[in-house]
Amino acid sequence: MDRKVVAITGAGSGLGASLARKYSKKGYYVCLIGRTRSNLEKVAETLISDHAIYELDVTSKQDVDRVFQSILEEIGPIDLLVNNAGLGVFSLTEKIEETAVHNMIDVNLKGIIFCTQAVLPNMKERNEGIIANVISTAGLEGKVTESVYCASKFGVRGFTESLLVELTDTNIMVYAAYMGGMKTAFWDGIYTEEEIQHLMEPDDVADIIMDNIKERKNLAVTEVVIKNK
């Protein structure tokens, strides 16, 4: 079977939804992964290629393993994993509640680790595949009111860079996208509508990510930084 399979976490909105639509147009089998089925179903209605919906809370390793095993058995090997699920709670450090601390570390960092662990054995067995981690510029520099969010994203940066070294002698590609804010629901209640209008379009960021991880002879892009003007 020649069709490629892409699995996208956080596919129910924003960048994840943009990537899903664009990969669908390229003929990929799209596995939409997220916590809210209704959001995933709305995205699914916009796809033109074969696709499937998988409800998943990426913070549960048991559930992650179960869902990715289901994809392997029902659809086939995953050629491209896009670790895109994430959340942010922003406030002064001493005001960030314990629940928010756990949620950001669990979703932003542990979720990426668990999903990556789930696809690696099969990718190593086939000696091919791409793991693309959507990280944010918060993984590159500290920001006011984003201390825990940055901590989670710095963690993903360390995980990604280590994975890149670990897989040096394989044909598995590891890619990191560090981008600024986009016009998505992520910023609702954080930025004003006027401020959100000055953020990047998810479709533009999706185009850059897809172009970067396109296979090219003797060349691999391991990371890109995409900033707002």
Hey, which residues are catalytic here? 149
145-to-88, 156, 177, 188, 190 alpha-carbon distances in Å:
10, 19, 22, 16, 11
> How many CB atoms neighbour CB 145 within 10 A?
16
E-strand stretches of the chain: 5-9, 29-34, 51-55, 80-83, 129-134, 172-179, 223-226
Residue 9 neighbours by CB under 8 Å, 6+ apart: 16, 33, 34, 56, 58, 82, 83, 84, 85, 111, 115
Q: Token pair of 119, please? A: 């696809």
Angle at the Cα of 166 (from 157 to 218), degrees rounded to 5? Answer: 90
* Residue bearing tokens 């922003």: 90
CA 62 distance to own-chain centroid: 19
DSSP-assigned letters across all residues of 95-112: GS-HHHHHHHIIIIIIHH
| Partners of 26 in the β-ladder | none
